[in-house]
Chain A
Amino acid sequence: MATVATPSTGEAVRAEAVRRPPKKPWWRGKILPTYVVLVLIYLVTPILVMILYSFNQSHAKLPQVSFKWQGFTLHWYADVDGIPGLGHAFELTIILALLASITSAIIGTFLALALVRYRFRGKGATEQVMFLNIAAPEIVVGAALLSFFVILSSNIAILHSALHPGFFDLFLAHVAFCIAFVAITVRARLAGFDRSLEEAAQDLGANAWVTFQKVTLPIIWPGVLAGALMAFALSIDDFVISNFVAGNVETFPLWVYGIVHTGLPPQVFVLGTFIFIVGFGIAIGNLLMTQRKKKEKA
């Protein structure tokens, strides 16, 4: 009965603290929220510009985004495949991101399981390497990978065709920079895991694989999915590392980079809008789902 800090009294104290100063000027407590909204508008501005200009008409001979607003059109959406090379680059980026995110989600989840549940030789070292992998500037990682591929493919004949900069190198590189991010995401999810559920399954006669499949995986699944989505986002957006290891292969960001100096076709903004809508849609959906779950629990 006489508990000192039950949540409700804490809440009451907090509410009182907020209510306490009655004589504050009208602008008190309005400046910060306004500021926050302004910063968020600033963050969204280039995205709105991208979406807006994907509807802008162009009277130039070549399809090229014009700085001036020349009227609304859906032409670029209908003609999204009208630029040679762009569609192919986009497709390649999506395939690469899918492969890299699935691979790194599996490998990263295993790594997270090992790191959370066991003490083993090399655990500290593994954590240090993961940390370095995340902290190192992308350009250094890209330069190192290019050095590696150049040295291997020029010195070892068998590896020449396999490791000559191209799609396979992109895949290897993308998985390499996604693993650590996935492992950290999944590890955060595993930290609050109730091990007694697994023990219960084993007491009921399930072997290690069945336990993993029927108990562990469903529980950590949201974490694995979050990690995979993160890897997908990292891969689809990667410019620097891809720039170094891609060779003649062009991903979507690399294609855009290549075209910048000759003039940007509006289709780039169309595809950018497409990626944004899908990604943002998934994120909002995820947010609403967790919100609803919270409500159900409450």
Chain B
Amino acid sequence: MEQPVRADHGVAVRRKPKGRAGKRLAPYLLSLPGGFWLIVLFLIPLVMMLFFALETGDVLHGYQLTWNWGEFGQQLSLHKTEFLRSIWYAGAATIICLIVSFPLAYWIAFHGGKWKNFFLLMLLVPFFVSFIIRSLAWQFILSDQGIVLGTLKNLHLLPQNFHILATSTAVIAGIAYNYLPFTALPLYVAMERIDYRLIEAAGDLYSSRREAFMRVVFPLTIPGIFAAFLLTFVPAVGDYLNQQILGGVSNTMIGTIIQTDFLTTQDYPAAAALSAILLAGVLVLIFLYGRLLGSRTIEEYV
């Protein structure tokens, strides 16, 4: 940007050349630490993980890079159930989140009034408590003799052997609870942007309230729905804490497999291959999203 130079402004004129060179360098200097950190501690590790997946060996004798591409297919078929289960749990939880958050976001965006910010803060309240403690609290609430089930059993409204913990339902409910804000906020952002006058215009053109919703509000929130889906489904599919705390041994998700392979059995190539497959799946989703709606838009919803 060229700044106007005034002849009587000695100081500014003298500093100008230096300022220009500085300006050319400035963006690089400013982005250097952040860029460096992200490259060295995010991009390079991702690449290294890929290489790790191609190695063979074991903990005791070390690993050699043998370009063992078969690892991917092998792990995929070995843990097909866990992959499918993760997709099913995360998918179900995401759909529940979308259904629950849609009216919520709608009301806050259009009828929140001066309490809007307070409601948004309440949506974020779960984040002020550790993720793991939230899941533990649910374990408490849903435990077989806990506040809810214990009471219902004492009233003979439920059979004594009824339980929720260690079932798929508990895991899906836990995931849905923990990721609800990730769905509600992007939806809210999308709806907040809708010009209320459009809805009034629809009304002026004799649309019923339902029609105005279906033909004006809903289409305009579709980008928000996609963003919400991505921001909820992606972290949910790799989640293993909810499954370990609320689920049982019979509903292992892929995250637990990766965690065990990496940290317990130390089968690094297997674990690296599994997380590379997970990453590839996520990249496909992100790519599709970018194709449909442009890659920059999602940042607006974060």
Are B123 and A43 in contact, CB atoms less than 8 angstroms apart? yes
User: Closest Cβ of chain B: how far from A257's Cβ, in Å?
Assistant: 6
Interface-centre pick from A14, A132, A203 (highest chain B CB count, 10 A): A132
A291 lies within 8 A of B117 (CB): yes
**Interface contact B38-A110, CB-CB below 8 Å:** no
Contacts A131-B299, A140-B279, A208-B22; A264 near B136 (Cβ below 8 A):
yes
CB pair A114–B26 under 8 Å, yes or no, is yes
Asked if B143 is at the interface of the complex by the 8 Å CB criterion, the answer is yes
Closest residue on chain B to residue A69 by CB atoms: B147
Q: Is the CB of A179 within 8 A of B282?
A: no
8 Å CB interface, A114-162 against B = 114-115, 117-120, 122-123, 126-141, 143-148, 150-151, 154
A215–B87 alpha-carbon span in the complex (Å): 50
Interface 9-residue window, one of B28-36, B67-75, B76-84 = B28-36
A184 to B34, CA, bound (A): 12
Judge whether B12 and A148 touch: CB under 8 Å: no
- Residue interface mask B258-286, A partner, CB < 8 A = 1: 11001100001001100100110010001
Q: How far is the CB of B47 from chain A (nearest CB, A)?
A: 8
Does A67 sit at the interface, judged by CB under 8 A?
Answer: yes
Work out how many contacts link A and B, with CB atoms closer than 8 A. 271
Q: Which of A129, A240, A284, A291 contacts B38 (CB 8 A)?
A: A129
Could you say which residues of chain B place their CB within 8 Å of the CB of A83?
Answer: none
Task: Tell me whether A50 and B31 are in contact (CB under 8 A).
Answer: no
Q: How many residues of B contact A (CB 8 A)?
A: 98
CB of A248 to closest CB in B, whole Å: 12
B205: Cβ under 8 A from any A Cβ: no
Whether A14 and B123, one on each chain, are in contact in the complex, defined by CB atoms closer than 8 angstroms, is no
Contact code string B129-161 (vs A, CB < 8 Å = 1, else 0): 111111011101101011100100000000000
CB within 8 Å of B: which of A24-46? 32-33, 35-36, 39-40, 42-46
In the docked arrangement, what's the CA distance between A279 and B121, Å? 11
Q: Say whether B296 faces chain A, with CB atoms less than 8 Å apart.
A: yes
B118–A287 touching, CB < 8 Å: yes
Q: Provide the main secondary structure of the chain B interface.
A: helix
Among A53, A144, A179, A237, the most chain B Cβ lie within 10 Å of the Cβ of A144
**Chain A residues whose CB sits within 8 angstroms of the CB of B164 once the complex forms:** none
Residues on A with C-beta less than 8 A from B17 are: none
Q: Would you call B132 and A147 a contact (CB within 8 A)?
A: no
User: Among the listed A13, A115, A181, which residue makes an inter-chain contact with B200, where contact means beta carbons less than 8 Å apart?
Assistant: A13
Contacts of B197 on A, CB cut-off 8 Å?
10, 13
B122 and A135 contact, CB distance less than 8 A: no
Interchain CB contact (< 8 A) of B34 among A137, A179, A240, A269: A179
0 or 1 for each of B90-105: is its CB under 8 Å from A? (1 = yes): 0000000000100110
With both chains docked as a complex, state the minimum distance between the C-beta of B61 and any C-beta of chain A, in angstroms: 12
> Known contacts A36-B107, A175-B37: does B129 contact A111 (CB below 8 Å)?
no
Asked if A120 and B31 make an inter-chain contact with CB atoms under 8 angstroms apart, the answer reads yes
Knowing A127-B296, A173-B41, the reply to whether A32 touches B133 (Cβ < 8 A) is: no
A172 contacts B by Cβ under 8 Å = yes
* Interface contact B282-A140, CB-CB below 8 Å: yes
A113 at the interface (CB under 8 A from B): yes
Contacts of B130 in A (CB 8 A): 236-237, 239, 252-253, 256, 272, 275
Q: 6 closest A-B pairs (Cβ-Cβ)?
A: A137-B238, A46-B137, A111-B34, A118-B27, A148-B45, A114-B30
**A–B Cβ pairs within 8 angstroms, 29 of them:** A35-B103, A36-B104, A36-B108, A36-B119, A39-B100, A43-B126, A44-B122, A67-B146, A107-B34, A111-B30, A111-B33, A114-B28, A120-B28, A122-B35, A132-B42, A134-B302, A135-B282, A140-B46, A140-B49, A141-B42, A145-B41, A147-B52, A147-B268, A179-B37, A239-B131, A253-B130, A283-B128, A284-B121, A287-B118
15 other A-B residue contacts (CB within 8 Å) besides A65-B140, A202-B12, A239-B130:
A36-B119, A46-B134, A46-B137, A67-B146, A113-B30, A122-B31, A129-B43, A134-B299, A135-B234, A176-B41, A239-B241, A240-B240, A243-B259, A253-B130, A260-B136
